[in-house]
């Protein structure tokens, strides 16, 4: 949210009107919510992946850690630009050949 004090907010309201100020608050609240929602979704996917590897497939603590390290490393490589979007598309094609499809592919 906008981190301004009451005096500054009143100043903005006087200059731009209440509607502008409320719109700004709303936009920032929505952006913060979207960011938190994405973080929650990523956390859930990672925990469910780890759960599946450990409890459903039977891999223990040592192999679970190794597998999750590689998954996180690949995500970091994409986020830092070491893997490009075309690399990601190639990975998707390879996984599709193995019979792994995500809904919408």
- What is the structure's pLDDT at 27? 81
Q: Give the tokens for residue 2.
A: 């906008």
82-97 pLDDT, tens digit per residue, is: 999 999 899 999 999 9
Q: What is the pLDDT of residue 1?
A: 46
Within 13 Å, how many C-alpha atoms sit on residue 21's CB side?
16
Whether 56 shows a pLDDT value over 60: the answer reads yes
> Would you say residue 30 has pLDDT above 90?
no
Residue 105 has pLDDT above 60, yes or no: no
CA distance 46 to 65: 12
Evaluate the CA torsion angle 94, 95, 101, 105 in order and state its sign. negative
At residue 3, the pLDDT reads 63
Is residue 67 a contact partner of residue 59, using CB atoms and an 8 Å limit? yes
């Amino acid at each position: 949210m906008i981190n301004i004090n009451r005096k500054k907010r009143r100043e903005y309201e006087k200059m731009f009107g209440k509607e502008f100020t409320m719109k700004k608050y709303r936009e920032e609240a929505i952006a913060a919510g979207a960011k938190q929602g994405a973080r929650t979704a990523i956390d859930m996917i990672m925990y469910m992946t780890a759960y599946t590897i450990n409890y459903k497939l039977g891999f223990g603590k040592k192999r679970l850690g190794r597998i999750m390290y590689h998954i996180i490393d690949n995500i970091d490589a994409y986020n830092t630009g070491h893997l490009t979007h075309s690399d990601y598309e190639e990975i998707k094609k390879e996984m599709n050949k193995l019979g792994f499809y995500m809904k919408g592919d």
